[in-house]
Amino acid sequence: MIADTPQPPTNAAPAPYRVLARKYRPIGFEDLIGQEPMVRTLSNAFALNRIHQAYILTGVRGVGKTTTARILARAFNYELPGRIDAPTIDMPEIGRHCQAIIESRHMDVIEMDAASNTGIDDVREIIANARYNPVIARTKVFIIDEVHMLSKAAFNGLLKTLEEPPDHVKFLFATTEIEKVPITVRSRCQRFDLRRVEAGDLIAHLAKICAKENITIEADALALIARASEGSVRDSLSLLDQAIAHSAGAGPIRADDLSVMLGLADRSRIIDLFEVLMRGEIAPALNILKDLHDKGADPVQVLTELAEFIHLVTRLKLVPQAAEDASLTPEERQRGVKAGGLSIAVLTRAFQILLKGLEEMKDSPRPMASADMVLVRLAYAADLPTPDEALRRLAANPRPASTPALPRSEPQASAPQASAPHASASPTMPRLATTSQTVARIEPRTETTAAAEPQLHLGSFAEIVAHAGSLRDIKLKMALERDIRLVRFEQGLIEFSLGPEGSPQLAQTLSTTLQKWTGQRWMVAVSSQQGAPSLREQADMAQRSQKESLESHPLIQAVMARFPGTKITDVRKPNLEPAPQIETGNDEIAYTDENNDDS
C-alpha cells in the first residue's frame, strides 16, 4: 500500500508579528542615529588598523548599546567571498557571517546576559572558551550585556584574560550603570558613552518608519512621542507601536488621542494653568486641575509637566535659540516666548515651589488634595515681590523707628538699619510679611491694624542668657553659657568665637531667636578672633579663685591638717535667712546657722 503524498497547505500561516523596535533595529553603523562621535572614532580606528581588544558601551536604556555591539561583531568578521576579507565598518551588503550575527545565532559570537550569569563559574567558561580558535569566523567575540551585574569574584577572574586576550578574541561590554563596573575593568577597555538621541533626529526617524508602515500620524503626536521617550529609540518605537494599536486604523494618529493613551495632560491646558497661576487666580487654576484629573491625567504628571513648561519659559528667556527645538509644538513655542516677560526670580521661585510640592505628593495619601494645595501656594506667591524688590520698596518708604514691632505671627524682615533712612509715619505705610517660602510680600498698613506687641530690649549678653532662662529654653541657655566667647556686643550685633563643643548652626539659631524676641533684625557672626572666656569658663575661673583663697585661710589649713586627704569640692554662699521656729507650748526653739565660714 502506497501512502498518499502530503500536499502543501493551501493557505500558508502568516509570519509572526515583529515589534517595531526589533523590525527596525540597525544592522550597520550608517543606521545608528545620534551617535556620530562614536561612529567617527571607530571608523578612524578601523581605517588605521588600531582595533582595541575590549570595548565598553554605556548609556541610558534604548540608545543602542547591544545593537552597537552586534554591529561591531559584524565588522570584526565581515567577509564577502572573493571581495572583502578584513575587519571594516563599510558593510554595503550582508556578508557571510552577518545574518547569523544579526539573529544572535553565530557560534563564534557568544552573547551572555550578566544579569542571569553573575558568578565566577560563568566567567570560567568564557576563559576556557577563549583559548580555542574560532570555528568559522575570523574573530571570536564575547558580548556581555549588563556587565555591571557580575559579582566581584567574576570581575576579578576576568581581569587577566581581559588584559592579555588571545589575538583572535574581542570583548564587548554593555551597561547602563558604568559606575558599578570596577575601575580595573574599565581601565582595560575603550569606553564609549552613547548619548540620548536628540528630539529632532528621533522625530525624523519615527516619521520615516511611519512612512514605511503606511501609518498617518500628526506632527504634534510625533513630538509628543519623542518627548515622552526621553531620548530612547526603543522607548519611542514601543510608544509608536502602542499608538498604532490605540488608533486601530481609525484615521490618523492624533496628539489628543496619544495624550489620553499615555495619561498625559493636554499641553495647551498646562499652559493655561501656568498663565492663571502667574496671575494669582486660584479658583480657575483649581478648576483646570480638576478638569484634567477628570479626563484621566495624573496630578503628579500635571505638576511635572507644569514644572517642565516653567523650565521651557526660562530657557526661552535666557537662550532664544531653544525655540528651534523640534519637539516643541507651535503653541508651546509661541506662548512660551510670550511668557518670557516674567522675571527670572519669579520663574525660579515657581519652579522651586513645584519641586517641593512634588516631593510632598510622593508621600501623600491623597495626591489630588496635595496638588490643590501646591497650586494654592504657587498662586499666592505669584504676586509677591522678590526679596530684593521688597527691600527696594522698604528703602523708598521705610517704617519709622518709633513704629512698634509687628506681631509674632508675621515676623518682620527689613533691610539693615544702617541703610534704612528715617521717614515720617504714614497710615498707608507698607509692612513686610513673610511666607513659608521665605518670600517677602508688601501689604498696606491701615488704621485698623491690630496693636503690635512692645519690643523687648536686651542691652547685654547677660540679659539674653537670663531671658533664655526665664523662658525655660534650657538647651539655648546652656549653649550660650558654654559655647559663646564674646568678641563684640552692640544692639543688633553679636560677634563671637565658637567654643570647642559649639554647633556651627548656633549663630543662625541665635539670630532667628533674637529677631523673634525683639522684633528686630540681629546680625550674629562667628569671628576668627579669640574672644573673651565664655560665661561657663568665667564661672569656673571664679570657682577656682575662691578655692585657692580658701586654701590659704589659717582655719581651713588647720582643718585640712587635722583631717589628711580633705579637699574643697565646692564653695557655696551661706544661707543668711532665719531658720523657721517651732512652737512647743509656751516655749520657742530657734534654729540658727552657726557656721560663719565658707567651706
pLDDT at 192 over 90: yes
What is the band of 167 on the pLDDT scale with cuts at 50, 70, 90? very high
Nearest to 233 by CA among 474, 9, 61: 61
For 474-506, what is each residue's pLDDT tens digit? 888 888 988 898 888 888 889 888 888 888 888
What is the band of 294 on the pLDDT scale with cuts at 50, 70, 90? confident
Average pLDDT over every residue of 96-107: 92
Lowest mean pLDDT, pick from 230-239, 252-261, 438-447, 495-504: 438-447
Instruction: Kindly report the backbone phi and psi dihedral angles of residue 289, in degrees, each rounded to the nearest multiple of 5, phi listed first.
Output: -60, -40
Average pLDDT over every residue of 248-258: 78
What is the band of 439 on the pLDDT scale with cuts at 50, 70, 90? very low
**pLDDT (0 to 100) of residue 455:** 66
Residues in contact with 493: Cβ distance below 8 Å, sequence separation at least 6, in sequence order: 522, 523, 524
Q: How far apart are CA 199 and CA 253, in angstroms?
A: 19
Residues of the chain with CATH 3.40.50.300: 20-193
What is the band of 432 on the pLDDT scale with cuts at 50, 70, 90? very low
For 368-417, what is each residue's pLDDT tens digit? 999 999 999 998 887 777 776 777 777 776 655 444 444 443 434 333 44
Lowest mean pLDDT, pick from 8-12, 156-160, 442-446: 442-446
pLDDT at 39 over 70: yes
* CA angle at 478 for the pair 473 and 482, rounded to the nearest 5°: 155
**pLDDT (0 to 100) of residue 410:** 40
What is the band of 594 on the pLDDT scale with cuts at 50, 70, 90? very low
Average pLDDT over every residue of 298-315: 91
**pLDDT (0 to 100) of residue 54:** 95
What is the band of 170 on the pLDDT scale with cuts at 50, 70, 90? very high
pLDDT at 556 over 70: yes
Q: How far apart are CA 382 and CA 277, in angstroms?
A: 7
For 43-65, what is each residue's pLDDT tens digit? 999 999 999 999 999 999 899 99
Considering the chain, what is the average pLDDT of its residues? 81
Highest-scoring range by mean pLDDT, 63-72, 318-327, 402-411, 445-454: 63-72
Could you say which architecture CATH assigns to the domain 20-193? 3-Layer(aba) Sandwich (3.40)
143, 109 Cβ separation under 8 angstroms: yes
**pLDDT (0 to 100) of residue 151:** 94
pLDDT at 14 over 60: yes
Average pLDDT over every residue of 536-549: 83
Instruction: Kindly report the backbone phi and psi dihedral angles of residue 397, in degrees, each rounded to the nearest multiple of 5, phi listed first.
Output: -145, 70
DSSP letter for each residue of 268-301: HHHHHHHHHHHTT-HHHHHHHHHHHHHTT--HHH
Tally helices (H) and strands (E) across the chain: 23, 12
Residues of the chain with CATH 1.20.272.10: 263-383
Average pLDDT over every residue of 259-275: 81
Lowest mean pLDDT, pick from 44-53, 206-215, 229-238, 551-560: 551-560
Average pLDDT over every residue of 67-84: 92
Could you say which architecture CATH assigns to the domain 263-383? Up-down Bundle (1.20)
H or E stretch including 73?
helix 65-76
Residue 530, Ramachandran bin (φ over 0: left; ψ between -120 and 50: alpha; else beta): alpha
154, 180 Cβ separation under 8 angstroms: no
Provide, rounded to the nearest whole percent, the portion of the chain with pLDDT above 70.
82
| Eight-class DSSP state of 590 | E
pLDDT at 334 over 80: yes
H or E stretch including 582?
strand 581-584
Q: How far apart are CA 517 and CA 512, in angstroms?
A: 9
What is the band of 587 on the pLDDT scale with cuts at 50, 70, 90? very low
pLDDT at 519 over 60: yes
Average pLDDT over every residue of 91-113: 92
pLDDT at 513 over 50: yes
For 335-358, what is each residue's pLDDT tens digit? 888 887 888 888 999 999 999 999
Nearest to 189 by CA among 62, 49, 58: 58
Strands (E), 151-270: 169-175, 190-193
pLDDT at 544 over 50: yes
pLDDT at 2 over 70: no
Helices (H), 519-595: 535-551, 554-562
**Around Cβ 33, how many Cβ atoms within 10 Å?**
17
Q: What is the largest CA-CA distance in the chain?
A: 148
Q: How far apart are CA 565 and CA 547, in angstroms?
A: 16
For 123-149, what is each residue's pLDDT tens digit? 999 999 999 999 999 999 999 999 999
pLDDT at 583 over 60: no
**pLDDT (0 to 100) of residue 568:** 78
**pLDDT (0 to 100) of residue 258:** 83
pTM of the shown model:
0.57
**pLDDT (0 to 100) of residue 576:** 53
Burial, 96: exposed, middle or buried (Cβ in 10 Å; 0-12, 13-18, 19+)?
middle
> What is the grid cell recorded at 372?
490643590
Average pLDDT over every residue of 236-240: 92
